[in-house]
């Protein structure tokens, strides 16, 4: 899905490296090997086009100086990779998908950036006819639940039921 533009997914090199260099992921996510060839990170020159560096510098300064998250009332604390992801999504107008509320809060609060839930992405693929929902794919929803994934937005759950006719068994 990262190699086929129709799926509309991108990621950065740092995320890819994290996924494949962590030893523990080998057993926890056996599918990672299967999908390795399908995941492709944006090349550096592509990421760093436009205003990427401007956004990254702004984000770094804001984080270091200290900005309060209005929801948690705590200072935002983003890692170097979080900052790269945030800069990439805002600079290139990508919607961000993340399980980290603090990262999502940051791009929404500071940059009016847009986020999308994993189920929202799946729904879009189904809607575009890129995937056909079946029992095999349905089992992924149960995996999400087992892996303690975030509850998906009600709006997307409703949309999922409507477009697939399947019962929603995920979080």
Partner 1 sequence: MEWLGEKIKDLIKENNSSIVKLAKKTGVSRQTVNDWIKGQIPKGNHLINLCKIFNVNPDFFFSKDFDNSISVPVHRTRMTAKVTPAMQKDALEMVRKYEVLFKNDANSSILPVVRVHHRTDVVAKKIATELRKRAGIGQDLPPDYEHTFSLLAYLGIKVIFRHFPEKIKAYAFYTKIHGHRIVFVNNSTNIIDLIFPVLHEAVHAIRDEIQTNDGFDAEEEDFCDKVANYIQFPDEYVHMVYDFINGLSAGAQVNKLKIYGKTYSHALFGIVKQIKTIDPDFNLKIGGADSNFKKGFHTIGDILFIGDDPRDYVAKISALSPLFTSIILNQIDSITISKLGEMLGIESVLDARAVKDELIKLKSMAA
Nearer to partner 1 (CB atom), residue 42 or residue 59: 59
Q: How far is the CB of 80 from partner 1 (least distance, A)?
A: 7
Q: Which residues bind partner 1 (CB under 8 A)?
A: 18, 21-25, 28, 51, 54-55, 57-67, 69, 72, 74-82, 90, 98-103, 109-112, 148
CB of 37 to partner 1, least distance (A): 22
* Burial letters 141-157, b for 16+ CB under 10 A, else e: beebeeeebeebeeebb
Which lies closer to partner 1 via its Cβ, residue 124 or residue 149?
149
Residue number, 21 or 34, with CB nearest to partner 1: 21
Closest CB 112 distance from partner 1, rounded Å: 6
């Amino acid at each position: 899905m990262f190699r086929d533009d129709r799926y509309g997914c991108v990621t950065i090199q740092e995320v890819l490296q994290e996924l494949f260099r962590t030893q523990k992921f080998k057993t926890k996510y056996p599918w990672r090997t299967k999908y390795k060839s399908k995941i492709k990170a944006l090349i550096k020159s592509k990421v760093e086009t436009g205003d990427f560096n401007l956004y990254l510098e702004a984000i770094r300064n804001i984080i270091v100086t200290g900005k309060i998250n209005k929801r948690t009332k705590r200072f935002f604390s983003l890692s170097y990779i979080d900052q790269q992801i945030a800069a990439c999504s805002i600079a290139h107008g990508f919607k961000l998908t993340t399980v980290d509320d603090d990262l999502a809060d940051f791009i929404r609060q500071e940059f009016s950036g847009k986020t999308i839930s994993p189920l929202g992405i799946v729904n879009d693929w189904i809607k575009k006819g890129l995937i056909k929902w079946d029992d095999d794919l349905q089992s992924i929803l149960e995996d999400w639940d087992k892996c303690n994934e975030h509850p998906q937005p009600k709006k997307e759950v409703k949309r999922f039921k409507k477009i697939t006719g399947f019962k929603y068994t995920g979080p």
